[in-house]
A and B are shown apart, each in its own frame.
Chain A
Amino acid sequence: MLKGKDIVAINDLSQDEIERILNKAREMVPIARAEKKSRLLEGRILASFFFEPSTRTRLSFETAMQRLGGSVITVTGQEGTSIIKGETLADTVRMAECFSDIIVLRHPREGAARLAAGFSNIPVINGGDGAGQHPTQTLLDLFTIKEEFNDISKLHVTIAGDLKYGRTTHSLSVALSRMGASLSFVAPPTIQMPDHILDEISGMGADHELSSDLMGCIPKTDVLYMTRIQKERFPDFEEYIKVAGAFRLDLDMLENAKKGMIVMHPLPRVDEVHPDIDPTEHARYFQQAFNGVPVRMALLSLILEGDI
């Protein structure tokens, strides 16, 4: 049962609950596209507290709430900064619950959502806590893959870029392993997948390999998940240029790709996915961004109304 539940980390959800959310998200697509109208959450209020800028995530949550007939109160930007300076998060949360039915929290500190959930009497959804968890990103990634392939257990997924610090890649990898996919982690050795994540994946018996050869992995790949490599991770700029260059995807690299292979990216991108790929049948990153709306609609409705 998801009704009343906090969503702090993807591991808080059972496999069954994940399936239920993804199925619900599929039902929500026509409403997200405004082809159908819904008043399901009429009279309900979402407190959208963004103490760190993340326009995409915030708009996607707010759109989801409004498409279901609910309304939104919001804190962002300077107002958020002064709240953080002025009171504890524990107090902010207890203020928010006086005004709303559910809280979405984005916060610069890791563990913020877990703490907020502990103090709140209404459900809290983690919209990203520092370098920590971002469960709705993982859910929308899974939804995007499932919409395309249905049976995730037969897939080979290649995840490339900054795997050490890129939090979205950690929970996605764990979730995909749980569902039986095989994985290639493609990154320069200094920013490869951390050992504790690899341990977790091995523990589930999932087939996986480490590589630094993006081109070599493409032919066997069904889903190519690209992420951004950040300059700040490298001691000097020259080193960054060299490394980042090897993890940039352009059109001719897709020559040996499977016909149905999809390219995903959590966006925003810098230049790790060349715009020439956008019009091809492989590009799925804009679809992926849209999918944030039906997935968050599914979550909001399941948490507030239960499975109806």
Chain B
Amino acid sequence: MKEVRIAPIKNGTVIDHIKPGKALKVLDLLGIDGEERMALSLAMYAHSKKAGSKDLVKIEEKELKVDEVNRLAILTPNASISIIRDFQVVRKFNVAPPEVLEGIVKCENINCITNQNEPVPSRLIMTRKDPRTYKCHYCGRLQSDIEKNII
């Protein structure tokens, strides 16, 4: 089986090694819904030597910024990002789970003050690397499923 069956891009961003099945959620998290008329290609459950299968997204003419990449780490911590200019990889990095998630994931405690109409972004702080655990800065609740509460 061929590694990946979509064509290289001239300029833009390649997000590789996405957890299989999460590509659509990745686009959602990046706020891409098709309205932008952005050229992009996507592969799901593609064969991968490293992980068996993976998803892959190529976005043309858009270079992802670091805070956008941080968001992805919540969904697919092993993804790698390549910035492409004129068919060349000019920058490659892995997503790293951020120490602080600010305004990205809401606190799962429905009675938390940040789930009211207060003028503050949610703020979750990593308290443990393995298993990766986040705690709400405000109410102290340990979060059981941050993926579910992505804003």
Contact = CB atoms under 8 A, between A and B. Distances in A.
A109 B111 contact: yes
Interface residues of B, number: 18
B118 interface: yes
Contacts of B111: 108-110, 130-131
Contacts of A82: none
A88 B140 contact: no
Contacts of B113: 89, 107, 109-112, 114-115, 129
Contacts of A130: 111, 139
A9 B139 CA distance: 10
Nearest to A87: B117
A6 to B, nearest CB: 13
B29 to A, nearest CB: 25
Contact of B138 (A88, A108, A115): A115
Q: Which of B120, B137, B139, B142 counts the most A-chain CB atoms under 10 A from its CB?
A: B139
B114 interface: yes
Nearest to A132: B139
Contact of A110 (B117, B120, B138, B142): B138
A90 interface: yes
Interface residues of A, number: 19
Interface string B85-122: 00000000000000000000001010111101111100
A112 B111 CA distance: 10
Contacts of A89: 113, 116, 118
Given A9-B140, A132-B140, A196-B142, A110 B119 contact: no
B57 interface: no
A121 B109 CA distance: 27
Given A89-B118, A90-B119, A118-B120, A110 B109 contact: yes
Contacts of A133: 140
Contact of A111 (B117, B119, B140, B142): B140
Contact of A109 (B112, B137, B140, B142): B112
Interface in A105-125: 107-112, 114-115, 118
B140 A115 contact: no
Interface string A209-245: 0000000000000000000000000000000000000
Contacts of A9: 140
B139 A110 contact: yes
Contacts of A110: 109, 111-113, 138-141
B136 interface: yes
B117 A88 contact: yes
Contacts of B112: 109-111
A131 B109 CA distance: 11
A96 to B, nearest CB: 15
Contacts of B139: 109-111, 114, 129-130, 132
A114 B140 CA distance: 10
Contacts of A129: 113, 139
Contacts of B107: 111
Contacts of B141: 110
Contacts of B118: 88-90, 115
Give the 3 A-B CB pairs with smallest separation, nearest first: A111-B138, A111-B139, A110-B139
Interface of B: 107, 109, 111-114, 116-120, 136-142
27 contacts: A9-B140, A88-B119, A89-B113, A89-B116, A90-B119, A90-B120, A107-B113, A109-B112, A109-B139, A110-B109, A110-B111, A110-B112, A110-B138, A110-B139, A110-B140, A110-B141, A111-B107, A111-B114, A111-B137, A111-B138, A114-B113, A114-B139, A115-B114, A118-B120, A130-B139, A131-B111, A133-B140
Interface of A: 9, 88-90, 107-112, 114-115, 118, 129-133, 196
